[in-house]
Amino acid sequence: MTRSRIPPKSVRVKVCGLREPAHVAAAAEAGAAYVGFVFFPRSPRAVSIAEARMLAAEAPAGLAKVGLVVDADDALLDAILADVPLDMLQLHGRETPARVAEIRQRYGLPVMKAVGIAGPEDIARLADYWQVADQILVDAKAPKDAALPGGNGVAFDWGLLWNLRWPVPWMLAGGLTPANVADALRVTGAGQVDVSSGTESAPGIKDPGLIRAFIEATKL
């Protein structure tokens, strides 16, 4: 029998990898709490700094704008933050706890650190970031042959999170779709979820209908 928890009545949703103003609007209208812009050239969801600035301008007040970077150096972060009014940085590479702390101090923005999970051996890594990140994003560990560190549409065993007690806010990611997010919430009790490929008709192409369906499915 699958164990279940009671998730919060109001689940905060992050729609990541947005590239079109209409999709920012769709996320906002559906009730998303965050929108994510990807600054990683190899991703089909990547945007330029100029594109991200335009998209950020479309976000209504109260919708948090998150910039996703992968092992970014200070020069890239300086360039992004000089032009794009982000509310949070999401570090989705192999950043060490020391690098996370350094970025948080240098830029004065909340930092979310993504940690990939495949099995029980990965759980201990979460604690390495609890003291230095404002939030933790728990994602499925990318397959060994994957070109991307996230956004691969792969889920992990949500039961691995069953007994964890979280000292910081956290967000569940990894292969979530309108069809499975309700189950993921019941198993993990997550109060926040992140979706990217699960709201796309093709890699990098968001579908407003799927965005709405995903957010509706979190309302248990």
Which pLDDT tens digit goes with each residue over 14-39?
999 999 999 999 999 999 999 999 99
Is there a domain that residue 175 lies in? Answer: yes
Residue numbers of the domain that contains 164: 12-218
Task: Check pLDDT > 70 for residue 105.
Answer: yes
Q: Does residue 49 lie within any of the structural domains?
A: yes
Catalytic entry in 71, 128, 139, 194: 139
139 part of the active site: yes
CATH of the domain at 33: 3.20.20.70
Question: Does any domain span residue 104?
Answer: yes
- 4 within some domain: no
Q: At 156, is the secondary structure helix, strand, or coil?
A: coil
Question: Is residue 5 domain-resident?
Answer: no
Instruction: Say if 93 falls within a structural domain.
Output: yes
Look at the chain and report how many structural domains it folds into.
1
The residue with tokens 């407003």 is 208
**pLDDT confidence of residue 220:** 74
> Which pLDDT score, from 0 to 100, does residue 114 have?
96
DSSP E strands, 73-191: 88-91, 111-117, 135-140, 170-172
Which residue is catalytic, options 16, 74, 78, 83? 16
Q: How confident is the model at residue 5 (pLDDT cuts 50, 70, 90)?
A: low
Q: 155 pLDDT exceeds 60?
A: yes
- Signed CA dihedral, 163, 129, 191, 171: sign only: negative
In the residue annotation, 16 being an active-site residue is answered as yes
Looking at the domain assignment, is residue 2 inside a domain?
no
Residue 6 located in a structural domain: no
